[in-house]
Structure 1
Amino acid sequence: MVAKRISAIEDSIFGLMSALAFEHKAINLGQGFPDFSGPEWIIEAAYKSMLEGKNQYAPTQGIHSLRKIISEVYSRHYGVEFSFENEITITAGATESLFSTILALVDEGDEVILFEPFYDAYLSDVLLAGGIPKFVTLYKPDFKFDFKELESAISSKTKAIIVNNPHNPTGKVFSQEELTFIYELAKKYNLYIISDEVYEFLTYDNIPHISFLTLDRQRERTIMISSTGKTFSMTGWKIGWAVTNPILTDAIRKVHQWTTFTINTPGQHAMAYAFSRLDEYLPIFRQEYQERRDIMFNGLLETNFKPFKPFGSYFLMVEFPQVGKDDVELAKELVIKYKIATIPPSPFYRKSHEGKTMLRICFAKKKETLLEGLEKLKQFRV
């Protein structure tokens, strides 16, 4: 008999749709990662590290040079200073940062507020920690939340609010007003903010990303999470981090120590080098993704799908007309009949009827992949 806590955990929709796409040889605009490799010079740096013998266990908290360079990057980009010795932990991607953070913070019966649609790992992590998820909706078309609804969701049992900014799956970028309101609520009710900022360097149309680190400069109640995977198009390397105050860092490191223990050493050295070249790399990276976003959004305007314009991340949501099918049924039909894979977003909502008229599309793909995918989406007729 498996543990009771596992019974509430559902299989990910990503695995189902990816398997279906593979079976039918469909173009996969569902998978949330690039169909191209990251920069060659980072791969060469990892190879160099291996040849130099940097192949044994790294320190549990992460190698010195990587933690130091991340602190320097955040000092330049956000004007925030923190100790790389006791305020940052290198983890197995942002996924492990989230899990270690939630396990370090949430006790049985604690409530955690999620904005819906949510990245599905949030819900599973809260449930595995014995927490109780509470939900606040991001309303289309601009995916804003109701300030009163958020405050009403807070109770005496509330422990934390999870914020994903820029947001997956909607592409929303939270405004200064929204973030300030969340932060003031956290202070008022003595809550923690778990701020997932893995798309921090992916915003469009000159819209800035505002990190929670700039609001909570002492990191009294904020845990900022990010990773290298999205920034350097190397999601398979699984190198992330959590930045917070020394007390919370110590708790996160205890969970991290007994889950993954440490992260691959050559990859950490390569990413330390990658961050040393971040400022020369970012303008090209952002321009290429701006072009991808524009290709996908403008192309979708010529289909029977209604796209919601994303201002961050590499996802967008589309609404489809009434076709007598829900999102899961239509997503399967698109794979089987039109050879194009998307993600149905209803699993990212607490209510079964929410999200059932939308699909999520990933544009972290080669431009030729996006154009071919758009041609297949244009074939869909009501």
Structure 2
Amino acid sequence: MAFKLPNSKLPDVKTTIFTEMSLLAQQENAVNLSQGFPDYQPDENLIKYLGEFSKKGHNQYAPLFGIKELREEISRKFNLQYQVDYRPDYEINITAGATQGIFTIISAFVKKDDEVIIFEPAYDCYEPAIILNGGIVKNVKMLYPDYEINWNEVKNLVSEKTKMIIINNPNNPSGKILKQNDIDELISIVKNTNIIILSDEVYESITFDEKPHLTLAKYPELKERTFVVGSFGKLLHITGWKIGYVCAPSDLINEFRKVHQFNVFCVNTPAQFAISKYLQNVDDLKSISTFFQIKRDYLKSALKETPFQLLDCEGTYFLSANFGAISDKQDKDFCYWLAQEYKVATIPFSAFYKDRTDEKVIRFCFAKEQETLDKAIEKLLKIKL
């Protein structure tokens, strides 16, 4: 009897759109504004520290929780930025990137037939993790052009089966940030429930026009039930280092660590030491927003000279636009056309919806060198009606 492949646990999952569009960019020799990573070097001091700590012998397993020095720096960061206290030993854990932290949180708590509410357009790692753990995804759409949350819809979805709500703030891909009224609605919804909140805040330090990032950790009614997930990849331009962290009350972190220890157990040791030393000399992270706002404004100003209709970008390093005036193609087909005909690679918004909702919106990443942005702009300016 010939071997037969078992039924897939993720039958609908294919190669991610990010990989697909980056491959297309290579094939077409297109400027890659699709995948969300910088094409420039991080601070030279950070790279220097990485080598120093490796040479000093910090090349073996780190503790399960992460090195103490880095956990203390994260605690200091929350205190300085938000006046929020997390105890380094009991309420902070270092992860192999934010995605591993998210997967581990979901794995630690979501059981068969538990319901998890997510907001679309949604980053693509949430739903597969929920499904792999036997959970049921409940989608709330934040529709074009405002991408505001319909909290009445959320209230109607909450039931005794609701185990978790996943928030992404600032939101990738829409660039929207939560306002105080959103926080108030969320507090009202979870009151007198046992719902856990997973707050993906990897773009926390990239908000624009002096609009504040409202971390859920600032609100006691939410902090007691919330995992805050962060990323040094986004914070320090080192996505390839895959270093993130999660913060939560000790009883939640204890459950997280039970899964974490059998997942990755620990995280890149010299990188943890390097980031820790780097953060010791950084008290003000506001310069990160300024750095990216200059890039956002530059790309935004240039694209106003094209037929694209720009969407508001309050945070993240993604600027999105409607292409309806240019073409009636489906958004993915348009992205292929744009890469092939004008040599600029982007991401279609339909990839962020389970039912592939097509609003004729695409996403540009502006975490790029000035030269890269200029090349892309030169090509995009050639698009005419």
**Normalising to structure 1: TM-score of the pair?**
0.96
Give 2:175's aligned residue.
171
Which runs of no fewer than 5 residues in structure 2 stay unpaired?
none
Query: What is the distance in 1 between the residues matched to 2:307 and 2:192?
Result: 46
What is the deviation of 1:142?
2.5
Alignment of 1:144-155 (within 5 A): 144-155=148-159
Corresponding position: 1:329 with 2:333: yes
Q: How does 1:117-156 map to 2 (within 5 A)?
A: 117-156=121-160
What is aligned with 2:258?
Answer: 254
Matched, 1:286 2:285: no
Count of paired positions: 380
Deviation at 1:215, TM superposition (A): 1.1
| CA gap 1:333/1:218 in 2 versus in 1, 3 angstroms | closer
Query: Counterpart in 1 of 2:217?
Result: 213
Q: Indicate the RMSD between aligned Cα atoms, in angstroms.
A: 1.5
Q: Give the secondary structure class of the aligned counterpart of 1:359.
A: strand
- The corresponding residue for 1:72 is 76
Gaps of 5+ in 1: none
Deviation at 1:217, TM superposition (A): 6.7
Aligned counterparts of 1:167 and 1:278: Cα–Cα separation in 2: 26
The 1:127/1:230 distance shift into structure 2, 3 A limit, reads same
Distance between the aligned counterparts of 1:90 and 1:108, measured in 2? Answer: 27
Q: Does the 8 A contact of 2:170 with 2:316 survive in 1? A: yes
Once residues 30 and 165 of structure 2 are traced to their aligned partners in structure 1, the CA distance between those partners, rounded to angstroms, is: 37
**Mean Cα deviation higher: 145-154 or 227-236:** 145-154
The separation in 2 between residues aligned to 1:205 and 1:225, in whole angstroms, is 24
Q: Give 1:25's aligned residue.
A: 29
Check whether the contact 2:114–2:135 (CA below 8 A) recurs between aligned residues.
yes
Secondary structure of 2:117's match?
strand
Tell me, in whole angstroms, the C-alpha distance in 1 between the residues paired with 2:220 and 2:97: 23
Cα deviation, residue 218, structure 1? 7.7
What TM-score, normalized by structure 2, do the two folds share?
A: 0.95
Instruction: Quote the offset at 1:257 in angstroms.
Output: 1.0
* CA pair 39-150 structure 1, distance change in 2 beyond 3 A: same
- Residue of structure 2 equivalent to 1:96: 100
Q: Find the aligned partners of 2:67 and 2:304 in 1 and give their Cα distance.
A: 47
Per-residue deviation, 1:145: 1.4
Shift of 1:156: 2.1
* Aligned-partner Cα distance in 2 for 1:219–1:270: 29
User: 2:211 & 2:353 partners in 1: Cα distance?
Assistant: 27
Asked whether the equivalents of residues 8 and 127 of structure 1 are also in contact (C-alpha less than 8 Å), the reply is: no
2:320 corresponds to which residue?
317
1:46-67 Cα deviation digits (max 9, x unpaired): 1110111111110011000000
1:361 and 2:364 equivalent?
Answer: yes
* Worse-superposed segment, 215-224 or 292-301: 215-224
Decide whether the 8 Å contact of 2:19 with 2:35 is kept in 1. no
Letter in 1 for 2:237: S
Shift of 1:195: 0.1
Note the C-alpha offset of 1:183: 2.5
Question: Which of 223, 227, 240 lines up with 1:236 in the alignment?
Answer: 240
> Given residue 291 of structure 1, which amino acid in structure 2 is its aligned partner?
I
Query: Which residue in the other structure is 2:384 paired with?
Result: 381
Q: 3-state DSSP class of the match of 1:66?
A: helix
User: Contact conserved, 1:218 with 1:245, CA < 8 A, in 2?
Assistant: no
Quote the residue 1:11 is aligned against: 15
Equivalent-residue separation in structure 1 for 2:276 and 2:184 (angstroms): 32
User: Contact 2:144/2:359 (CA < 8 Å) preserved in 1?
Assistant: no
CA drift at 1:179: 1.7
Alignment pair present for 1:295 and 2:298:
yes
Aligned residue in 2 for 1:225: 229
Cα distance in 2 between the residues matched to 1:153 and 1:300: 39
